[in-house]
Amino acid sequence: MALLEIKEVSRRFSDLVAVDNVSFSVNAGEFFTLLGPSGCGKTTLLRMIAGFDQPDSGTITLDGIDLKNTPPEKRPIHTVFQSYALFPHMTVEQNIAFPLKMAGQSESEIKTKVKATLDLVALNDRAKRYPNELSGGQRQRVALARGLVNRPRLLLLDEPLGALDAKLREQMQIELIALQRDTGVTFVFVTHAQAEALALSHRIAVMRAGKIEQLDEPDRLYGQPKNRFVADFIGNVNMHDATVRTIGDTLTLDLGKLGKVVAPLRKNQSLKEGMSGAFIIRPEQVSIRAASEPSGDPNQFVGTVNDFLYIGDVTTYIVDLPDGARIEALLPNSAPGRAKFFELGDPVRVSWKAEAGAFLDS
Amino acid sequence: MSNHTASRIRGERLVKYSIITPPFLFLLMFFLFPALIMVVASFRFPGEFGGLAPLFRTEDGTGGLTLENYRLFFSSSNYAWIFLRSFGVAALTTVICLFMAYPVATLIARSPKKSRDLLVLLCVLPFASNFLVRVYAWMIIFQPFNMMHSRLAVIVGMVYVHLPFMILPLYTNLEKHDPTLLDAAQDLGANAWQRFWRVTFPMSLPGIFSGAVLVFIPVLGMFAIPEILGGKDDWLVGNMIKEAFLGARDWPFGSMLSMIMTITVLMLVALSAWFARKGVYRA
């Protein structure tokens, strides 16, 4: 049985449907992420799970028990708030002890657990400090420790890394994964940062306008997005309007002026000839070489380098195609002593294999 | 450093000093100087018809400095009792004000932003009419209930006059509380009472402290309310001081009472500030 079950949950605010008939379940021990742009309903959903808001319809059950009449303080669910919400008048130690005190545990029990949790987040030397004496990353760890100290059934995390700078965020991501694994607590994580979601989660629900667009494991979400929104929201993607020409073992797609491409046919994809949609391909699947060099790939076009973005480990080349469309190709900068392969205006050949890319009908 | 920056810094300094000099001089003239006069006066003899005897002993044996005023204060328990009563009344007034102001301040702090200013204005609206007139109005209210000239009437009057001084600092403090903290407390298992007692209350201690100081000290010095609403047994330090100056025309004695009151109050404030800092609250 799933730990948390969201069933046909809807929530309306006067003129806005924040959550629209959403159903999903979270398994025990899972790192589950709600991913979507701001205003997609992910935070409303989180508040309903925590108990700060009630669904207009539908049910939320935890361990098979309907939470409808359980106030937030009685739910075995804790939240790590975006602003951390640490109590400014309490030391790190007192902050972490708070949920244990509320649960009426004995002084000695509280002492042991606080100590163990301080160890877990490596804040032993900060136990007597007040939150305003801590760095952002340390506050973040106190908030996590406070949420985890009495091992809730579920820990909700509301964009907890949003306030940290990039380097620290990466470090905290690693710590989050370790914390989740070590404590075994089920995490429901809310974020708008797709890279973060991919790095952390076992499963991700991509939300838009109150609905779940796709619920999948990170690699499937990235590799087999269901529709244009998901393809575009997760990672970078090249997208081109396309029409289905022939359906066989593979698909032949008509890209208009650009000509035809071959694309793989996905299982469970019901397509008809003449159907219009989009052809997508990830930049790292596109090969790029000088126009004079031949390529054995079935899909290839000659274009000119319009621009490139040097990131360090990779360079993204933006190539103008004959029909005015643009395609991005990603090239790793792994050749020693050589950071740039092409100059602006260079004629180049972009190509990809028959198995790469996909056709999306929505 | 270039010449230009140096002259700019000099200019900024000039502006800074020219802004703070007038209020500084004002306080020096009208606060520190009179206070020093009072300190000295409390060690002098009264003049024959009020005022002060000469500071230095004259040939006819009048004037000079003395500890007589202080000796008189400690020679009889009467004065100590009035002091004690005053502190009692002030403490009681402060506590009642606190209990009445807390819900009001909470309500204002949680009102929509737009209506907060209006509600604060309503709290201070009584100041728009003269203080004495308002106290006389209480006479009219008390008379039918036969409450005039009682300790109760004094306390009610004191609370009435000083309540806004408790509401305002409390409101200023409560308004700054992050509501997410209460969500967090509830999320972590705190019920409504625990949320108040463990989060809101300790965080509001600085507000309570300022409010208490703003109520407690003026009540100690207040003489109009005990005089108008109270009986002879309701005299407070303020009445004694006023009587020493205006009735007995004994300035040194009045100054001495004033000195003792000031020193006691300063000690109390220092003590409570020390407690407050000792870890009940950290910002």
CATH class assigned to B70-280: mainly alpha
Q: How far is the first Cα of chain A from the last one, in angstroms, to the nearest whole number?
A: 33
Q: What is the pLDDT of residues B67-119, one digit of tens each?
A: 989 999 999 888 889 999 999 999 999 999 999 999 999 999 999 999 999 99
Last residue of a domain, one of A229, A248, A270: A229
CATH number for the domain harbouring residue A267: 2.40.50.100
β-strands A4-13, A57-62 pairing: antiparallel
**How would you class B81 by CB atoms within 10 Å of its CB: exposed for 0-12, middle for 13-18, buried for 19 or more?**
exposed
Mean per-residue pLDDT over chain A, rounded: 91
Report pLDDT for A140: 92
| Half-sphere exposure (Cβ direction) of A132: Cα atoms closer than 13 Å | 7
Q: What is the pLDDT of residue B89?
A: 95
| A313 class by beta-carbon count within 10 Å (0-12 exposed, 13-18 middle, 19+ buried) | exposed
Q: What are phi and psi of A127, to 5 degrees?
A: -55, -40
B230-276 pLDDT per residue, tens: 988 888 999 999 999 998 899 999 999 999 999 998 998 888 888 77
Identify the pLDDT of residue A231: 94
B183-192 confidence digits (pLDDT tens): 999 999 999 9
Distance CA A44, CA A54 (A): 9
Query: Do A159 and A255 sit in the same domain of this protein?
Result: no
Residue B6: Cβ within 10 Å count: 10
Interface test with B, best of A87, A154, A159 (most B CBs within 10 A): A87
As a whole number of angstroms, the distance between CA A109 and CA A102 comes to: 13
Q: Using a pLDDT cut of 90, give the percent of chain A over it.
A: 71
Same domain (yes/no): A134, A157: yes
pLDDT category at A336 given cuts 50, 70, 90 is low
CB contact under 8 A, A85 and B184: yes
Q: What is the pLDDT of residue A69?
A: 92
Residues A20 and A157 in one domain: yes
What are the beta bridge partners of residue A352?
A: A299
A159 and A280 both lie in a single domain: no
What's the distance, CA B48 to chain centroid? 34
A72 contacts on B by Cβ (under 8 Å): 183, 186-187
Same domain, residue pair A125 and A273: no
pLDDT of residue B1: 52
In the predicted structure, residue B283 carries a pLDDT above the cut 70: no
B chain contacts of residue A74, beta-carbon cutoff 8 Å: 189
Q: Which pLDDT score is estimated for B282?
A: 46
pLDDT band at A338 (very low <50, low <70, confident <90, very high): low
Q: Which residue of B has its CA nearest to A145?
A: B188
The residue segments making up the domain with residue A252 are 236-360
Same domain membership, residue A340 and residue A212: no
| Bridge partners of residue A144, in order along the sequence | none
Query: Which of A170, A198, A229 is where one domain is finished?
Result: A229
- Asked if B159 and B93 touch (Cβ cutoff 8 Å), the reply is yes
3-state secondary structure of A205: strand
Q: How many domains does chain A have?
A: 2
pLDDT band at B212 (very low <50, low <70, confident <90, very high): very high
CB contact under 8 A, A103 and B181: no
Question: Inter-chain contact A71–B186, Cβ cutoff 8 Å?
Answer: yes
**C-beta separation of B162 from B97 below 8 A:** yes
Q: Are residues A196 and A301 in the same domain?
A: no
What is the pLDDT, as a whole number, of residue B85?
A: 92
List A residues 32-71 in contact with B (Cβ-Cβ < 8 A): 50-52, 71
Under 8 Å between Cβ of B45 and B22:
no
Q: What is the domain partition of chain B in residue ranges?
A: 70-280
Selected residue of A89, A94, A151 to mutate for chain B interface (largest B Cβ count, 10 A)? A89
Angle at B97 between CA B166 and CA B212, to 5 degrees: 50
Dist CA B147 CA B154 (whole Å): 10
Instruction: Give yes or no: residues A252 and A315 share one domain.
Output: yes
Same domain, A25 and A56: yes
Residues B226 and B232: their CA atoms lie apart, in Å, by 9
Average pLDDT over residues A28-54: 94
Q: List chain B residues with CB under 8 Å of A146.
A: 188
CA distances from A178 to A27, A77, A173, A184, B268 (A): 18, 20, 9, 10, 53
* Mean pLDDT for the stretch of residues A185-206: 95
Q: Does A287 touch chain B (CB under 8 A)?
A: no
Residues 6+ apart with CB under 8 A from A182: A120
Q: Which residue has the tokens 């890319």?
A: A357
Closest CA to A23 of A59, A67, A63, A56: A59
In chain A, the largest separation of any two C-alpha atoms, in whole Å, equals 77
CA–CA gap between residue A101 and residue B268 (Å, rounded): 34
Nearest residue of A to residue B202, measured between CA atoms:
A89
In chain B, which residues have their Cβ closer than 8 Å to the Cβ of A129? none
Q: Which residue of B180, B191, B198 is in closest CB contact with A81?
A: B180
Contacts of A69 (CB under 8 A, 6+ apart): none
**Same domain, residue pair A199 and A296:** no
Closest listed residue to residue B233, CA positions, set B74, B72, B89, B73: B89
**Tens-place pLDDT, residues B110-119:** 999 999 999 9
Nearest CA in chain A to B192: A73
CATH number for the domain including A74? Answer: 3.40.50.300
Name the nearest CA neighbour of A150 among A100, A184, A191, A95: A100
- Distance of alpha carbon B17 from alpha carbon A46, whole angstroms: 55
pLDDT score of A116 more than 80: yes
Strand A260-264 relative to strand A211-216: parallel, antiparallel, unpaired?
Answer: unpaired
CB-CB neighbors (< 8 A) of B190 in chain A: 73, 98, 102
Burial environment of residue B129 by CB neighbours within 10 A (0 to 12, 13 to 18, 19 or more): exposed
- pLDDT for the residue numbered A333: 81
Is residue A182 over pLDDT 50?
yes
Asked whether A323 and A191 are in contact (CB, 8 A), the reply is: no
HSE-CB of B59 using CA atoms within 13 angstroms: 0
A44 & A96 share domain: yes
Nearest CA in chain B to A143: B184
Same domain, yes or no, for A181 and A270?
Answer: no
- pLDDT-derived band at B167, boundaries 50, 70, 90: very high
pLDDT recorded at residue A258: 86
Q: Inspect the interface and report whether the beta carbons of B187 and A73 lie closer than 8 Å.
A: yes
Q: Bridge partners of B176?
A: none
Measured in angstroms, the CA of B208 and the nearest CA of chain A are apart by 15
Token reading at A61:
């059950």
Mean per-residue pLDDT, A197-218:
95
